[in-house]
Amino acid sequence: MITGGIIYIMAQFDKHPGEKALADLPSEPVRSFETGFGGDVVLPADPEYERERAVWNGMIDKYPAIIARCAGTADVVSAVTFAREQDLPLAVRCGGHNVAGTAVCDGGLVVDLSPMHGVRVDSENWTARVDGGATLGDVDHETQLFGLATALGAVSETGVAGLTLNGGYGHLSRQYGLAMDNLRSVDVVTADGKVHTASADRNEDLFWGLRGGGGTLGIVTAFEFELHEVGPEVDAFFIWFHADDMTDVMACFLEWTDDAPREAGVLAFTAHVPDLEEFPEEAWGEPAVAMLGTARGDLEDDVFEPLRSSATPIADLSGSMAYADLQSMLDEDYPDGLRYYWKSIFLTDVTDEVVDIMERYTESAPSALSTVDLWHLGGAVADVPQDATAFWHRDKPYMLNFEANWEDEADDDANVTWGRDGIAEAAELAVASGSYGNFPGLNEDPAKLRFGDNYERLADLKTTYDPETLFGADGSIAARTDTD
């Protein structure tokens, strides 16, 4: 008996969290769940388990008990109901691109929407119905057939759901607002397993909280987006300068942002020149300051000329290109399995201290793949009142983001520390505040930083729609308790 007990204990000790959690579940409910599920149920013993538990950020290494690859909304309801009844942690995977790894959890159930990636365009009414597992590339592929687009992000492999529910900045934001500002309606499964349609005139409170609240109130299985006339060709602006010209280039950029047209947007960033043939070999590996942007419409002059002439460029890769190509041009810079830590803070102004932080931290970056990004916001984003949706920081004209990107697990601590220290130093400045749900680090900061004065209303909604905090993998917000 003693020997047998030791063997049992050792066998349990060797199991990963997913195996342990699955072993603790009653077998009959698990069999019933599998039998009634329309999609694929992946368990730890299945050959595809290792592939299906992996997410974009190679630093995330979690072991769910069950991965439920949903074929439709009914499967999402089944998965939510099973997780609630069995008291399992729950994570939701759409594109799997949130840097904090919220798409997977240890010992819980992953509701995987990635098989649900259909896009249906209504070209007469300029709308698109997008399934919850679709990527930006899926949307652009269909909408650009009609010369239409909605305001999404800037990497085509990103999931629409996570990007949109956390806000959604991209190339079109200054003209058409955040991704979530372009929503007409959503279909959402809440923690009780019910399916709701939410819009400006139907379940309005739920619609308010979903726009900016991340996935804290439920699982969105379909989005209805407003479309705009964009493409198929746009003017792309992509230029690199020597770091020695940082002061002049940034001064010109900030002057340009003062009165830039909404039809144009530029992201400025510091980086190291990549070892690519598009760049002079003698510049490879050197610190640099660069800009990426786009312009659309009938702008009379070359809107980017003041930026182009701010210094002598290392390389100018600008030109006309297909909008879909612009949306996917950064994909290869962010491959699956690379290690990522991205963290952000909003700015009311870009001071000399901000520019100095960008320059110093680029020079000290442990990885040459990392960047420090300065997003120019405002425009249509700032037109919407701060309390009109759960997204609070739309009044800020800039956002600073540290992108730590590296290859070797042994370098994790150095790169995470670099990103955290950079944002912490920026946070000491009077012009800095808040955080952004799509660049959250590892969700180590208080949710109030993200939601500002909208936090209390969102907490009330959380208590109404998810009183047991079933949807809490991102750590964003918890339901109120009797002691609150």
Residue 8 confidence (pLDDT) above 60: no
Residue 374 confidence (pLDDT) above 50: yes
Which pLDDT score, from 0 to 100, does residue 6 have?
47
Which pLDDT score, from 0 to 100, does residue 9 have?
47
Q: Give me the architecture of the 17-112 domain, per CATH.
A: 2-Layer Sandwich (3.30)
Does the pTM surpass 0.85? The reply is yes
Element (H, E) at 256: helix 246-258
Band (483; pLDDT cuts 50, 70, 90):
low
- Please write the tens of the pLDDT for every residue from 129-175: 999 999 999 999 999 999 999 999 999 999 999 999 999 999 999 99
Q: Tell me if the domain spanning 119-229 has CATH number 3.30.465.10.
A: yes
Rounded to an integer, the average pLDDT of 103-123 is 97
- Please write the tens of the pLDDT for every residue from 14-35: 899 999 999 999 999 999 999 9
- Please write the tens of the pLDDT for every residue from 466-480: 999 999 766 678 888
| More confidently predicted of 2 and 200 | 200
Which pLDDT score, from 0 to 100, does residue 14 have?
81
Question: Looking at the domain covering 233-433, what would its CATH class be?
Answer: alpha beta
453's torsion region: left (phi>0), alpha (psi -120 to 50) or beta? alpha
Which pLDDT score, from 0 to 100, does residue 286 have?
96
Residue 274 confidence (pLDDT) above 70: yes
Which pLDDT score, from 0 to 100, does residue 484 have?
61
Domain with CATH 3.30.465.10 in the chain: 119-229
Domain with CATH 3.30.43.10 in the chain: 17-112
- Please write the tens of the pLDDT for every residue from 200-259: 999 999 999 999 999 999 999 999 999 999 989 999 999 999 999 999 999 999 999 999
Domain with CATH 3.40.462.20 in the chain: 233-433
Distance CA 454, CA 213 (A): 10
Distance CA 132, CA 95 (A): 9
Which pLDDT score, from 0 to 100, does residue 477 have?
86
CA-nearest of 447, 403, 142, 82 to 270 is 403
Distance CA 168, CA 434 (A): 16
